[in-house]
Amino acid sequence: MATGTAILEAFYQAAGQFVAANDLVKLTHASTEAIAGEIQELQQLGYSIESHPHFGYRLLDAPDRLTADDIKARTHTEVIGRKILVFEETASTNDIVEHMARSQAREGLVVFAESQTKGRGRHGRAWVSPRGKGLWFSVLLRPKFKPSAAPRITVAAGVAVAHAMRKTTGLDARIKWPNDVIVAGKKVAGILTELHAEGDEIIAAILGIGIDVNCRAEELPADIATSLQIETGKPQDRVALAAEVLAALDHFYRADFEAVVAEWARLSTTLGRQLIITMGARRIEGYAQALDGDGALLLRRDNGQLERILGGDVTVEK
């Protein structure tokens, strides 16, 4: 574990109390001088840390800034977040992960950006990613299942994001199939899964997630989008949410898919509803009956036939 991660983890465990310099030395196997240097670096990053000649150090406040050390200090995962990178600005985090996937990066890599200049959503739409206001990140997955089961990734990610949001904010976050997380009827997060497959094998799946955390209304597409700050009435801790989302992703990505579907059903705004789905020029209506084992939506048409739907824009009929 990196020294910065270990120090922050000790601070969070101490919950505002002093941590003796000696304890930090034992934890990190670094020298007292190296610890003092790390503390100074953290202070330069904006962490408010008090040092005391006898008691050691204590964390008074953490900045609203994403760092790999801080995210790692607040979560313990098996696969997701093995390696975390944070960029100040990038075109799209999905592109960075795609590039790294081609250079043999391991499953679980997560790339965050404080802002994106060319964030993209589904169907080639732009995704606004204002600096320091959200969580804009991508995860490299290398699942063993076939490309036809790729919708499972989006389903698991939706459940994970909704879970983490409910836990950190107490909001009633729900999932609108296939990829939106909704609060109070408006979109608060979106998921874009991009695949690189050869034949029957997924070489890499790039799971891109955008969460509107502290965006103001003027920064969001009018009427259809909202943010956690707007819905809770106060700024939210982005690092805490990032840590919760990675922990939830680690759990739901590796969980039995039946358990994921059960959780999805509990949080879904679409299941058991009459839907209108548009897929390009095609528009179909039907009753959302279930998800199948691949994560596709089974839609009962008016003529009684069951249709398997892989994607599209969904409107829930009143």
Residue ranges that bind ligand BTN, judged by CB under 6 A = 92-94, 116, 119-122, 125, 127, 129, 136-138, 179, 190-192, 208-210
Nearer to ligand BTN, 180 or 231 (CB): 180
Sequence-ordered strand ranges (E) for the chain:
48-52, 56-61, 84-90, 110-116, 134-141, 174-176, 180-183, 186-198, 201-212, 274-279, 282-291, 297-300, 306-309, 313-316
Nearer to ligand BTN, 108 or 208 (CB): 208
Nearer to ligand BTN, 75 or 93 (CB): 93
In angstroms, rounded to a whole number, what is the distance separating the alpha carbons of residues 268 and 258? 15
- Token pair, residue 220, equals 């969001």
Handedness of CA 170, 175, 179, 184 (dihedral sign): negative
Beta carbon of residue 171, minimum distance to ligand BTN (angstroms, whole number): 18
**What pairing do the DSSP bridges indicate for beta strands 306-309 and 313-316?**
unpaired
Taking the CB of residue 238, how many other CB atoms lie within 10 A of it?
A: 24
Residue 57 or 127: which CB sits closer to ligand BTN? Answer: 127
Measured from the CB atom, the residue of 39 and 209 that comes closer to ligand BTN is 209
The CB-of-261 to ligand BTN minimum distance in angstroms stands at 21
Q: Which is nearer to ligand BTN, 27 or 91 (CB)?
A: 91
Phi, psi of 2 (to 5 degrees): -65, 150
Q: How far is CA 33 from CA 10, 14, 21, 58, 315, in A?
A: 18, 21, 10, 17, 60
Least distance to ligand BTN from the beta carbon of 207, Å? 9
Q: How far is the CB of 193 from ligand BTN (least distance, A)?
A: 9
CB of 44 to ligand BTN, least distance (A): 28
Calculate the alpha carbon distances from 20 to 16, 98, 139, 292 in Å. Answer: 13, 43, 36, 54
Tell me if residue 80 falls in helix, strand or coil.
Answer: coil
Which has the closest alpha carbon to 234: 216, 246, 222? 216
Q: Which residue is nearest to ligand BTN (CB)?
A: 190
Looking at residue 215, the DSSP 8-state letter turns out to be -
Give the closest residue to 176 by CA, choosing from 33, 109, 94, 273: 273
Nearer to ligand BTN, 94 or 214 (CB): 94
Instruction: Tabulate helix, strand, coil % of the chain (nearest 5).
Output: 35, 30, 35
Q: Smallest distance from the beta carbon of 33 to ligand BTN, in angstroms?
A: 39
Which residue, 158 or 286, has its beta carbon nearer to ligand BTN?
158
Q: How far is the CB of 187 from ligand BTN (least distance, A)?
A: 7
Cβ contacts of residue 23 below 8 Å, gap of 6+?
10, 56
Instruction: Find the shortest distance in angstroms from Cβ 255 to ligand BTN.
Output: 23
